[in-house]
Structure 1
Amino acid sequence: MTSTVLIGGSCDPRFGAVRANFERNFTHDNEVGAAVAVWVDGDLVVNLWGGYADAKRRRPWRENTLASIFSGSKGLTSTCLHLLADRGEIDLQAPVAQYWPEFAQAGKSDITVAMVLGHRSGVIAPRTRLHWSEVTDWDRVCDALAASEPWWKPGTAQGYHMVAFGFVLGEVVRRVTGRTIGQYLRTEIAEPMGIDVHIGLPASEHHRCAEMINKPHIRDVLANGGAPGHPTSLDEHPMAGLSAAMGFVPDDELGSNDITTWRIAEFPGTNAHVSALGLATFYNGLAQEKVLGREQLERVRVSQGAFDPDVVLGPRVADHGWGLGYMLNQRGVAGPNLRSFGHGGSGGSYGFVDLEHRIGYGYVMNYFDATKCNADPRTTALSDEVYRVLGAL
């Protein structure tokens, strides 16, 4: 436990309790390095960072330190799809195969883009597991997904598309625009708005990356849970869905063996790197309606299946619902507005937008808590204080 920690940045005096709780995360909740940023009604009211970016506590966390947000990447990826839809370049209710004809193989011709965004397509992994050394070949991965049958009848169940989400949607973006989703994010959103978010991080920026601490390896998580090897069906074992989706987490293997290649590669569902200010500014762009129009924003947060049991994660994690690509705050685990939306990342990071209160929020850290995602106490302690100041809590 750390007795004192140097906190950098700025905080509007009205939000002093956010700073106090941010400091408390270090002294009472094992925080090593972290940052939080909050925009309210177009004003940057909180921009704090502190602690260390490495396990040896030699490299101070800075304003521009980048953290991996794992599944928080899905919020960035989903926004790219919604931007294309808002511009009339794709129809989210159209089949994926309309844009990627090869995807229609093996009973997938009727799977829509919206089904993938809502984790209801059944395409959670290829039927044959790929080796981690193969996964930087984008075409190889997409060919495997295109050739494989869905794991359940599309549209009939919900199951978290842990990694396949990014490849399927990323290939749609590539077929429509001729650009990878990382390039599209950069040229259409990040660079025009000066936002420090990345899918596919240039090697020149790797020196800014925080070292993830206490992160378990996927193979160990599966082994400890008694999961089988790559299953042949969801009926094979109670953890078959999780084993299939997590077994197709080649970026975890790649990151363990070649961190540089992993950071450079594009895994649009799982390996975005962002600063807290970048993540908050990204969601502020939604709050200010600078990225998507209001009509599209309302479509984003239409519930897809409410709290249906998740055949990959199981019902025990249903503390949120799914919109079209985002976690919906339907049970109020991330503030009082049940209509806010965003995405958490395994380990504890979280970013969200609240359209009613015009909040853009981002929290990132490097001490990994494998039991938390969008309702990590470290981040809810901060966002709750924002709402308290606004009189909403």
Structure 2
Amino acid sequence: MHARFAPVRDCFHDLLATGRETGASLTIWYDGHPVVDLIGGSRTNAGSGAPTSDAGDGAWRPDTLVNVYSVSKPVAALCLLMLVDRGRVDLDAPVTRYWPEFQTPATVRQVLSHTAGLPAFPVPRPATAIADWALLTGDLAAADPEWVPGSVAGEHAWTYGHLVGELVRRVDGRSVGRFLAEEIAGRWRLDLGFGLSEADQRRCADLRYGDPQWPTRVLGEPGSLRARAMGNPAGGQDLAVLNSPLWRGAEMPAVNLHATASGLARLYAGLLAGGVLDGVRLFSQELVAEATRVQYDGPDLLLDRQTRWTLGMQWEPDGSWGMGGLGGSSAWADPERGYTFAYATGRLAEHDRVDELVEALHSVL
């Protein structure tokens, strides 16, 4: 690591030393090159009874995968956007053109920008439904929208991946997990995926609570849009589900990408370079420009704040674009400062860890 970035390394080590972090990876690219690549802490939850992964010591390794929650969404969106780039999907076509059973009069663009009006699965389902793609997409196809599509945004917290992923499947024939593996992750050498194989599941870090009240706190008021959107299917904040083969092997593309920080930072580096990485072009510059442009600027009914949505990412006032995930993982590109940043953690807590790391990074740029 370049000496210039030592304050970032010191901050990362301090988070581990003080117990505010128990296991994580951090990768930063600057000016087109990786400049920070750190891992630390433990992959396994001591006393969890969960099987340890391939390395018996339980230490976090360079190839340790971890569930990054909503950091998943831009990755799922890119699969559909690749089909847009190839001329196989029209952003302003109604979803019904590709998915005839779909009842909501939303366009592909509205689905991608969280304005389609389907922020929650309409039928209460148990945790086992996580593995039933046809059931959950069928629920969405038959649902009535909660607002006029395009009129307002509300993060499609759990439904986003099924809306985007079913469009990919209808047009291409492959599941979004397989499409990601074959068309994007494989070609750009990204260590991340949906619907992990048994071998990849053995590399996973166990999630753990930074605070036992975390699952209750993140759902908000019972009956609220947030609680309905994030609590169905059941189990999405339950460690017994999250650390199970059911969750790791399923495709819940809004929330269950399992990734390394280095894989995420590479992905954003390719986007920041206009769709090309290591000489391999996956996206046109025009597609990247459209995908990272603000499509909606206004209130978000689920997040309960003003939000700027691109086609799958949040856009921040400093011009950066990307996504944070429930529990503290985050990945984005900052075109103004010329870097990409990815943090992947197994300790479910707030985003203050990332805030401090970014402060250290900005102090040296």
Question: What TM-score do you get using the length of structure 2 for normalisation?
Answer: 0.89
Paired amino acid for 2:334: D
1:385 Cα offset (Å): 3.2
Q: How does 1:162-241 map to 2 (within 5 A)?
A: 162-214=157-209, 220-221=216-217, 225-228=220-223, 239=224, 241=225
Paired amino acid for 2:290: R
Equivalent in 21, 32, 38 of residue 42 of structure 1: 32
1:140 Cα offset (Å): 1.1
Equivalent in 11, 14, 17 of residue 24 of structure 1: 14
1:204 Cα offset (Å): 0.9
Q: Structure 1 residues 226, 39: CA separation in 2 closer, same or farther (over 3 Å shift)?
A: closer
Are 1:65 and 1:275, in contact at CA under 8 Å, matched by a contact in 2?
A: yes
* Root mean square deviation, CA, Å: 2.2
Aligned residues: 348
User: Hey, what's the Cα distance between the residues in 2 that align with 1:206 and 1:65?
Assistant: 10
User: Hey, what's the Cα distance between the residues in 2 that align with 1:217 and 1:147?
Assistant: 35
1:265 Cα offset (Å): 0.4
Q: How does 1:62-77 map to 2 (within 5 A)?
A: 62-77=61-76
- After superposition, the C-alpha distances for 1:227-258 in whole angstroms (9 at most, x for unaligned) are 13xxxxxxxxxx2x123212324461786347
- After superposition, the C-alpha distances for 1:334-390 in whole angstroms (9 at most, x for unaligned) are xxxx21111111011111122344422211111111xx3xxx221232233333333
Residue 342 in 1 paired to residue 322 in 2?
Answer: yes
Paired amino acid for 1:260: P
Q: Structure 1 residues 31, 386: CA separation in 2 closer, same or farther (over 3 Å shift)?
A: same
- After superposition, the C-alpha distances for 1:30-79 in whole angstroms (9 at most, x for unaligned) are 11111111112221111111111123295111111111101110021111
User: Hey, what's the Cα distance between the residues in 1 that align with 2:173 and 2:235?
Assistant: 24
User: Hey, what's the Cα distance between the residues in 2 that align with 1:85 and 1:248?
Assistant: 30
Paired amino acid for 1:54: T
Are 2:121 and 2:139, in contact at CA under 8 Å, matched by a contact in 1?
A: yes
Are 2:129 and 2:233, in contact at CA under 8 Å, matched by a contact in 1?
A: no
User: Hey, what's the Cα distance between the residues in 2 that align with 1:165 and 1:128?
Assistant: 16
User: Hey, what's the Cα distance between the residues in 2 that align with 1:87 and 1:254?
Assistant: 39
Paired amino acid for 2:206: E
What SS does structure 2 have at the residue aligned with 1:162? coil
Question: What TM-score do you get using the length of structure 1 for normalisation?
Answer: 0.83
Q: How does 1:305-324 map to 2 (within 5 A)?
A: 305-306=296-297, 308-315=298-305, 318=306, 320-324=307-311
Equivalent in 251, 271, 278 of residue 256 of structure 2: 271
- After superposition, the C-alpha distances for 1:152-191 in whole angstroms (9 at most, x for unaligned) are 1211121110111100110000011110111111101111
Q: Structure 1 residues 353, 274: CA separation in 2 closer, same or farther (over 3 Å shift)?
A: same
Paired amino acid for 1:48: L
Equivalent in 99, 109, 112 of residue 107 of structure 2: 112
- After superposition, the C-alpha distances for 1:2-36 in whole angstroms (9 at most, x for unaligned) are xxxxxxxxx22221111111112123461111111
Equivalent in 227, 231, 235 of residue 243 of structure 1: 227
Are 1:284 and 1:358, in contact at CA under 8 Å, matched by a contact in 2?
A: no
Are 2:130 and 2:247, in contact at CA under 8 Å, matched by a contact in 1?
A: no
User: Hey, what's the Cα distance between the residues in 1 that align with 2:145 and 2:20?
Assistant: 41
Paired amino acid for 1:84: L
Paired amino acid for 2:357: L
What SS does structure 2 have at the residue aligned with 1:360? strand
User: Hey, what's the Cα distance between the residues in 2 that align with 1:35 and 1:69?
Assistant: 11
**Could you say which residue in structure 1 is the equivalent of 2:362?**
387
Residue 86 in 1 paired to residue 98 in 2?
Answer: no
**Could you say which residue in structure 1 is the equivalent of 2:236?**
252
Q: Identity over aligned residues, as a percent?
A: 34
> Which segments of 5 or more consecutive residues in structure 1 lack a partner in the other structure?
1-10, 229-238, 331-337
Are 2:215 and 2:238, in contact at CA under 8 Å, matched by a contact in 1?
A: no
- After superposition, the C-alpha distances for 1:197-229 in whole angstroms (9 at most, x for unaligned) are 111111111121111111668974488x4413x
Are 1:217 and 1:252, in contact at CA under 8 Å, matched by a contact in 2?
A: no
**Could you say which residue in structure 2 is the equivalent of 1:280?**
265
1:303 Cα offset (Å): 1.9
Are 1:84 and 1:90, in contact at CA under 8 Å, matched by a contact in 2?
A: yes
> Which segments of 5 or more consecutive residues in structure 2 lack a partner in the other structure?
48-56, 277-281
- After superposition, the C-alpha distances for 1:59-107 in whole angstroms (9 at most, x for unaligned) are 111111111101110021111122221222211121111111111x2xx
Q: Structure 1 residues 221, 116: CA separation in 2 closer, same or farther (over 3 Å shift)?
A: same
Residue 363 in 1 paired to residue 343 in 2?
Answer: yes
What SS does structure 1 have at the residue aligned with 2:343? strand
User: Hey, what's the Cα distance between the residues in 2 that align with 1:251 and 1:94?
Assistant: 34
Are 1:33 and 1:365, in contact at CA under 8 Å, matched by a contact in 2?
A: yes
Are 1:283 and 1:353, in contact at CA under 8 Å, matched by a contact in 2?
A: yes
**Greater relative contact order: 1 or 2 (C-alpha under 8 angstroms, separation 6 or more)?**
2
Are 1:301 and 1:339, in contact at CA under 8 Å, matched by a contact in 2?
A: no
User: Hey, what's the Cα distance between the residues in 1 that align with 2:170 and 2:214?
Assistant: 31
1:132 Cα offset (Å): 2.1
User: Hey, what's the Cα distance between the residues in 2 that align with 1:138 and 1:68?
Assistant: 19
Q: Structure 1 residues 180, 201: CA separation in 2 closer, same or farther (over 3 Å shift)?
A: same
Equivalent in 280, 283, 286 of residue 292 of structure 1: 283
What SS does structure 1 have at the residue aligned with 2:300? coil
